[in-house]
Structure 1
């Protein structure tokens, strides 16, 4: 996670320097606020990654002397075929359309469908404990 925190540190520095330069050059308040807020968001993410990297063991990506074979092995479980991401994308699109046209009734329907799709995706492989 140290590599990721360094990436966000660079992003944060860039946006803060760009915001300071934009303040003196353009003097346009919305752009100034957007650049400073973007730098602040980069700072939040970089700080989170730095905080998490202290708690986790070192990964091959964090070791400059690591070999490619150091990262070999299981990465995790990935579903071989799931239809929940399609439903999730459709529900998210419905919520976006409802927000764009400000249809509250459609927003409620889309939010319910979005919660159902997220729940279906999260609990797709959940197995109940056996009853005795």
Structure 2
């Protein structure tokens, strides 16, 4: 996890440098600066810093993974990487119900938004519990 922490640390440093520069460049204009963009950059900097701290703390506590060690062999990274589900229809139904909700808002038809929300809750529940077949089963 040290490599991921370093990547986010570099992004944090970049954003710490860019945010005041952006504020300075936009405040030089006649309009008094772009507070929306500056606020977004500040929040992005804080969020990236939060991820950096999280990964940094956990990298210290856990044993180094093979990809974190310079003397690691390729065979040490072998094995099962996780569970990857096969083909699923649930993302399609979630996307379609989201489209119905957005169309309902855009058209001003709140009844369409409500129908999309109810069907979306059903589709999202189906996607979340797709592989649930009992207590802690896949």
Using structure 2 for the length normalisation, give the TM-score: 0.73
What is the aligned partner in structure 2 of residue 18 from structure 1? Answer: 18
Q: Which moved more, 1:61-70 or 1:20-29?
A: 61-70
> Is 1:69 equivalent to 2:75 in the alignment?
yes
What is the aligned partner in structure 2 of residue 117 from structure 1? Answer: 123
SS in 1 for 2:5: helix
2:90 is aligned, of 71, 84, 92, to: 84
CA RMSD for the aligned pairs?
Answer: 2.6
Q: 1:109 and 1:15, CA in 2 relative to 1: closer, same or farther beyond 3 A? A: farther
SS in 2 for 1:64: coil
1:45 is aligned, of 51, 65, 78, to: 51
2:102 and 2:60 mapped to 1: Cα distance? 38
1:12 and 1:34 mapped to 2: Cα distance? 14
Paired residues in the alignment total 129
1:104 and 1:54 mapped to 2: Cα distance? 51
Deviation string for 1:53-85 (max 9, x for gaps)?
Answer: 445443222223323322211111222222112
SS in 2 for 1:61: helix
SS in 2 for 1:26: helix
Deviation string for 1:21-72 (max 9, x for gaps)?
Answer: 1222221222221211111111122223234444544322222332332221
1:5 and 1:103 mapped to 2: Cα distance? 46
1:15 Cα offset (Å) = 1.1
